[in-house]
Chain A
Amino acid sequence: MAVLLLAEITDGQLAMDATAKTVTAAKPLGDITVLCVGATCAAAAKEAATIEGVSKVLCAEHDLYGHRLAEPAADLVVSLAGDYSHIVAPATTDAKNLMPRIAALLDVMVISDITAVIDADTFERPIYAGNALQTVKSADTTKVISVRGSVFDAAATGGSASVENIGAASDPGLSSWVEDKVAESDRPELTSAGIVVSGGRGVGSEDDFAMIEKLADKLGAAVGASRAAVDSGYAPNDWQVGQTGKVVAPDLYIAIGISGAIQHLAGMKDSKIIVAINKDEEAPIFQVADYGLVADLFDAVPKLIDAL
């Protein structure tokens, strides 16, 4: 049994947290080879080689793989797939774009967003916005899997796997990159932060959302948002936590002015401690909150900032 694990790489930089968590998930499945794909990925490959449990790193550095277009990257993975029983990646937007394409080219099903490995063929994954957990057994020869990082611990570093450079596969020439609009952020990355402070519709405006950010900065936390806050333009869409946004499981999740719709809970209900601040004491968020404070957020949040 051998595992090909796709490292998460953005602009030449390895997303260590996401990749190391996926290594933990994949460890019981066999010997792990990490594949680094990108226009520049030599440094990322070197870093990936230090993750404990990785036995080899393949580095496919080529202009063709800049900006992670699905078509050429999928062709590359498929060209390598013959040697592996499992192809695994962290469930990021990159992998969600890529893995089903790889699976279909191999004529196998994809197993999205797994939360547990039962054995080499059997996996658990949440369905219905996390309201049910399904255990599925795959009959396919190759298992193509994306891993929900928030439920696995990151593997330690200190290893020293060998790095092998490999060439590019052919260019399907179906798509090209135009531009990126990257959201500026000095704060911790949302999916790996220890504390997340999220605001919802109750915050009321983009200006008032600054208060949520101020609280987050005081706590060294990442900022999240509900769909309502994003749709109303209070926060950028890559801050969205939920079924259609990011899934987080920090030590502390503070939900402010968020009612707690099913779709939002899907993205945060595995947090260790949940705090809710809401003036509606009937809000569903209080059913999952460890500590609830029924109060006007415009009164409570500044007080909270002062108290910390």
Chain B
Amino acid sequence: MKVLVPVKRVIDYNVKVRVKADGSGVDLANVKMSMNPFDEIAVEQAIRLKEAGKAEEVVAVSIGVKQSQETLRTALAMGADRAILIVAADDVHNDIEPLAVAKLLKAVVDEEQPGIVLCGKQAIDNDMNATGQMLSALLGWSQATFASELDIDGDKAVVTREVDGGLQTIKVNMPTVVTVDLRLNEPRYASLPNIMKAKKKPLDEKTPADYGVDVGNRLEIVKTAEPETRKAGIKVGSVEELVTKLKDEAGVL
């Protein structure tokens, strides 16, 4: 079985984002970018499937600007076998929407015929939480979202999902799309020798036109604004003072 892992290049999760003064978006020029944290978990899971003898090949795919190849090299250094980069934007500020990404991924799936697609549950930039579900819908496959445990057994996968009230376990037909949650695993760090080796692994570069997919946006971004800032608070000296303030000043107790 082949595993396909979509990975996204996003602003590093530790960076405090700045909204551009003209309201046109978030400033991504000269900002540290990294692999979306959920996608690292997906890559790790794919590699573990290979190490367990359940997968023969791990293919990483990324869609976006040319620099996304750094993200793919990271996936290769972690242990992916080869990579596909679909260059769909020439400006880092142009975020391709999940629907277009899902259509491109469907085309890749049609070509590569993986047995499973492992996605992150959401990208920490657009916070959409949609691509995996959309891909599954377009393929007519089963889906298992927010996975915290994954066990593949022949033509079925048993997946434990993190849902609002606790955990839910479902059984889905293979092939399937699984979106991974934080607690599925602890992603490994790429070692220096593996980073060097990753430079020699194959990385195919494509365009949306190669797959006949229109990457135009359905949602026009009217404006991007800073959220309201909270008014500065005060420090209290003791528990008693805190309780008094909450009762008399804030009126919440």
Contacts and interface: CB of A to CB of B under 8 A. Distances in A.
Interface in A250-308: 251-252, 262-263, 269, 272-275, 281, 286, 288-295, 300, 303-304, 307-308
Contacts of B235: 281, 286, 291-294
Interface string B206-232: 000000000000111111111100100
B118 to A, nearest CB: 16
SS class, residues of chain A in contact with chain B: mixed
A243 B243 contact: no
Contacts of A281: 235
Interface stretch (B60-68, B74-82, B126-134): B126-134
Nearest to B146: A93
A67 B140 CA distance: 20
B137 A105 contact: yes
Interface string A109-152: 11111000000001001111111111111111000000000000
A71 interface: yes
B219 A127 contact: no
B182 A227 contact: yes
A291 B134 contact: no
B223 to A, nearest CB: 5
A104 B134 contact: yes
Given A290-B233, A292-B234, A275 B242 contact: yes
Interface in B2-37: 11, 13-14, 16-17, 19, 26
Interface stretch (A21-29, A43-51, A200-208, A230-238): A230-238
A127 B98 CA distance: 14
A255 to B, nearest CB: 12
Contacts of B168: 67, 177, 179-181
A214 interface: no
Contacts of B242: 275, 291, 293, 304
Interface in B230-253: 230, 233-236, 238-240, 242-243, 245-246, 250, 252-253
Contacts of A125: 127
Nearest to B144: A175
A286 B235 CA distance: 8
Interface stretch (A53-61, A94-102, A155-163): A94-102
Given A110-B134, A131-B227, A178-B158, A244 B164 contact: no
Contact of B250 (A105, A181, A182, A290): A290
Given A97-B133, A112-B130, A133-B225, A273 B183 contact: no
Nearest to A110: B130
Interface of B: 11, 13-14, 16-17, 19, 26, 97-99, 102, 121-122, 124-138, 140-146, 148, 158, 161-173, 181-183, 218-227, 230, 233-236, 238-240, 242-243, 245-246, 250, 252-253
Please provide the 5 A-B residue pairs with the shortest distance between their CB atoms, ordered closest to farther: A100-B130, A100-B133, A104-B134, A104-B137, A174-B142
18 contacts: A96-B145, A100-B137, A104-B102, A104-B138, A125-B127, A126-B227, A127-B224, A128-B125, A132-B17, A134-B225, A137-B219, A175-B144, A175-B171, A237-B183, A252-B250, A269-B227, A291-B235, A292-B233
Given A98-B133, A128-B127, A307-B243, 17 more contacts: A96-B145, A109-B98, A112-B127, A125-B127, A127-B125, A127-B224, A131-B16, A135-B221, A173-B173, A180-B168, A230-B183, A238-B166, A243-B127, A252-B253, A290-B234, A294-B235, A308-B243
